[in-house]
A and B are shown apart, each in its own frame.
Chain A
Amino acid sequence: MGFGLAALTKISSSQVIDKMGLRKPFEKAVTTSVKHGFRAAGTASRGFTPGKKLDKPARLAPAKDTGLFDLEPTDEQQMIVETVRDFAAEQLRPAAYDADAKLETPDGLLSRAAELGIGAFGIPEELGGFGTERSVTTNVLVAEALAHGDMGLAVAVLAPSAVSTALAQWGDADQQATYLPEFAGENVPAAALALSEQTALFDPFKLATTAKRTPNGYQLDGVKALVPRASAAELFLVSANLEGRGPALFIVESSTSGVSTEADPAMGLRGAATGKLHLNKVNVGAGALLGSDKPEMFAEVVRLSRLGWCALAAGTGKAVLDYVVPYVNERVAFGEPISHRQGVAFMVSDIAIELESVRLLTLKAAARAEQGKPYAREVALARKLATDKGMWIGNAGVQLLGGHGFTKEHPVERWYRDLRAVGVMEGAVLA
């Protein structure tokens, strides 16, 4: 990752950030918002054309295993996290309120994120990124830092890298050559990993969306739910039940005939402008199937996506903790700060304990994943805790502010809504 380190050293110096305009006050978004219920054809995608094809697909090497217990991120990770944390504080947090109200990701945010190189770590050097080894831990740390700013906008920022990370990890040489250079460039396409469907007790391994074999490839039918920035996305990775095989992932360009999107506003994640993706007799070529020779791939995508949500929960949970500490110290009732009461103080302790728990389980799973060790169990446990305790933290955040927490004067009500997503969402992000 020497290249990435060098790039970041430059970026993290304030001059460069200033030059990029990252410190400029955020300008209000002006794009027209998508009205609920209005279905539009998929956005026109750029012409994705194969670039220079490698002899074999580029793969990131597994991270090394030191054999030692260690909670210290590498110097490089530390620097990346500090940069992303600043970015989240300066670009995401101030924009979160409007993005939530308008159901849209502000203009320019994604290009600034791309300039920062978020997403390029997961793309191998040979294809224009700066990845040399698998960086699930780095991805987790980045998602956590972004979600400290805002979960919805973090999802919007991370959505394209979910697609590029999957292509880097499981794409064949043709798929990589066609799509990855675009993701490593300056004008990163909006893209989304679409796994969810609107079904009670949804199981990502049991899909209603179908893929039938055709003489030239596959025909897809179904509806995907809660797809980040669906209406803007140029490229989708869609899960569908492939007849005779089971759940599989397909690369679908937005301009393909039969693709349409519809706004799907939800309780939270509104800054990510979630939408439904309709697939009506969508014909894709034989090359659209991802990881056709890797049976483990689909489960890995589901696991790494869940891990991404754990990281987001940790980031938003930390935002809650950082917000309630000064609040309960300043808020006075019965003649003294409410933090002098055990009923209040113990809730703060429990937020800290459960937050650290979620964080450690997430990091444990991430380290195992990037080292190529089995990690299904660790992801399941991290997700269970992130779902239950993450929501509890969101709940406690509102409760500690009382009636004020219920109003939009404070961000805790938004975090409450966002944290409910953690146990619901499948797809959208990838650690």
Chain B
Amino acid sequence: MINLEVPVKAKPLINQAYQAASQVFRPISRKYDRAEHAYPKELDTFAALVDGLNESGEGGAGASGVRRDENGGDGGGNVNGANLRTVLGTIEMCWGDVALLLSMPRQGLGNAAIASVANDEQLERFKGTWSAMAITEPEFGSDSAAVSTTAELDGDEYVLNGEKIFVTAGERADSVVVWATLDKSVGRAAIKSFVVEKSRPGITVERLEHKLGIKASDTAVIRLDNCRVPKENLLGSPEIDTKKGFAGVMETFDNTRPLVAAMAVGLARAALEETARILSEAGISVDYDKPANTQHAAAATYLQLEADYEAAHMLTLAAAWMADNRKPNSVEASMSKAKAGRSVVDITLKCVELCGALGYSEDSLLEKWSRDSKILDIFEGTQQIQQLIIARRLLGKSSSELK
């Protein structure tokens, strides 16, 4: 029975996340935008609360929600489960502040990777860790098969060497999921991910980036210099299976792309709501029945922005719903990420334009949001990478044909 409403049973979760976003994130949003690299200590108590929620199974703001529940969707019925809850919670939290959500203790992208691909033993062992994700290197970004950080098996340990950049929460996290190759000559099949605890010798934070936006979130350069981890810290299978290739590590992305889309949806909604408020003070409101072209140009623009927002929102819920119902969602996950990423940039920038000097001034959060939004069209796969993924699938092309 087709119905695209937010599930009724998710309303309490959404309300909790909204309260947190409006009462914890929003009041400190500008403060940490100005104080780049300062640790948002207000999040510590709040994170403990979120841990409690996740323990009780009522979570939705956490990275752990991306694990595909083995029991989900087997009853043949329609499942509204952890994936949907997680994107719904993420939307609300990012309505509050994207950078602060990215700074939430124990909710890193590394946690999402662990949740997606760790075995039960690892899941138990890494419980409670705050894990960042380290993929990008100075010489590559989107081309993740070009990993040059190496992992060499030495007895019962892997020895890691290399440099990683753009590691979100890399300084604050207590572990990092590092992508490294077991054998560069084999290509992507040899790329594995390793949980590296920051307490181990040989892993160091080199420096933090100064950025356009999401300044409350630290972005680190991390160096691995003969850093040893137990071989049990390798996530997934240690076999180099050239047939299955990249599938293991890429699975994470099918689950995390809708999450980034959800961040964009939340941020876009924040900007639209604030703009609607400012426009109404200026005497402009949107009429949904009147043709757009017979309304004030600002109202017509707003309608167009809101339509893109709604599309991003629905594509995101759809991708998460498919994951909940164990339907392959690689294309839909990329669609949601591509649409939400480009829409949130359009929307936030246009909102600044509509609100003029007020929108551009630090007196309002609109200018901050249009700096924060840009990263959402870049990380977890740029707009163009999503287009490649979708096109290859639709056109039946390999990565060597459609480069």
Choose one: B5, B388, B397; the contact of A367 (CB below 8 Å): B5
Interface residues of chain B: helix, strand, loop or mixed (majority): helix
* C-alpha gap A162/B78 in the complex (Å): 32
Asked if B282 is at the interface (CB within 8 A of a chain A CB), the reply is no
Choose one: B1, B314, B332; the contact of A72 (CB below 8 Å): B1
Given contacts A329-B395, A349-B394, A384-B307, are A356 and B335 in contact (CB under 8 A)?
yes
Contact B335 A353 (CB under 8 A): yes
Distance in Å: Cβ of B290 to nearest Cβ of chain A: 6
Contact A303 B5 (CB under 8 A): no
Distance in Å: Cβ of A2 to nearest Cβ of chain B: 16
Of B177-185, B188-196, B198-206, B315-323, the stretch lying at the interface with chain A is B315-323
Distance in Å: Cβ of B231 to nearest Cβ of chain A: 40
Choose one: B289, B322, B397; the contact of A299 (CB below 8 Å): B289
* C-alpha gap A349/B396 in the complex (Å): 12
Given contacts A339-B397, A380-B303, are A352 and B335 in contact (CB under 8 A)?
yes
Contact A68 B396 (CB under 8 A): no
Contact B388 A360 (CB under 8 A): no
Distance in Å: Cβ of B265 to nearest Cβ of chain A: 13
Scan residues 331-353 of chain B and give those whose CB is less than 8 A from a CB of chain A: 331-332, 335, 338-339
Asked if A101 is at the interface (CB within 8 A of a chain B CB), the reply is no
Asked if A216 is at the interface (CB within 8 A of a chain B CB), the reply is no
Asked if A345 is at the interface (CB within 8 A of a chain B CB), the reply is yes
Choose one: A66, A303, A328; the contact of B289 (CB below 8 Å): A303
Scan residues 50-82 of chain A and give those whose CB is less than 8 A from a CB of chain B: 63-74, 77
Contact B391 A202 (CB under 8 A): no
Asked if A266 is at the interface (CB within 8 A of a chain B CB), the reply is no
Chain B: interface residue total (CB-CB under 8 A): 52
**Size category, A interface:** 35 or more
Contact residues in A for B293 (Cβ distance below 8 Å): 201
- What is the 8 Å Cβ interface bit string for chain A, positions 319-356, against chain B (1 contact, 0 not)? 00100010011000000110110100110111011101
Contact residues in B for A74 (Cβ distance below 8 Å): 1
* C-alpha gap A358/B312 in the complex (Å): 11
Distance in Å: Cβ of B386 to nearest Cβ of chain A: 8
* C-alpha gap A214/B401 in the complex (Å): 73
Contact A353 B3 (CB under 8 A): no
Interface residues of chain A: helix, strand, loop or mixed (majority): helix
Asked if A406 is at the interface (CB within 8 A of a chain B CB), the reply is no
Contact B304 A339 (CB under 8 A): no
Asked if A401 is at the interface (CB within 8 A of a chain B CB), the reply is no
Contact A65 B291 (CB under 8 A): no
Contact B294 A201 (CB under 8 A): yes
Asked if A385 is at the interface (CB within 8 A of a chain B CB), the reply is yes
Using CB atoms, name the residue of chain A closest to B338: A353
Contact B395 A67 (CB under 8 A): no
Of B6-14, B42-50, B55-63, B242-250, the stretch lying at the interface with chain A is B6-14
Distance in Å: Cβ of B74 to nearest Cβ of chain A: 16
Asked if B41 is at the interface (CB within 8 A of a chain A CB), the reply is no
Choose one: B80, B84, B318, B391; the contact of A348 (CB below 8 Å): B391
List the interface of chain A (C-beta within 8 A of B).
63-74, 77, 137, 201-205, 299, 302-303, 321, 325, 328-329, 336-337, 339-340, 342, 345-346, 348-350, 352-354, 356-358, 360-361, 363-364, 366-368, 371, 376-382, 384-385, 388
Given contacts A67-B8, A349-B386, A366-B2, 10 further A-B contacts (CB under 8 A): A65-B3, A68-B7, A69-B4, A69-B321, A72-B2, A74-B1, A356-B318, A376-B288, A379-B288, A385-B308
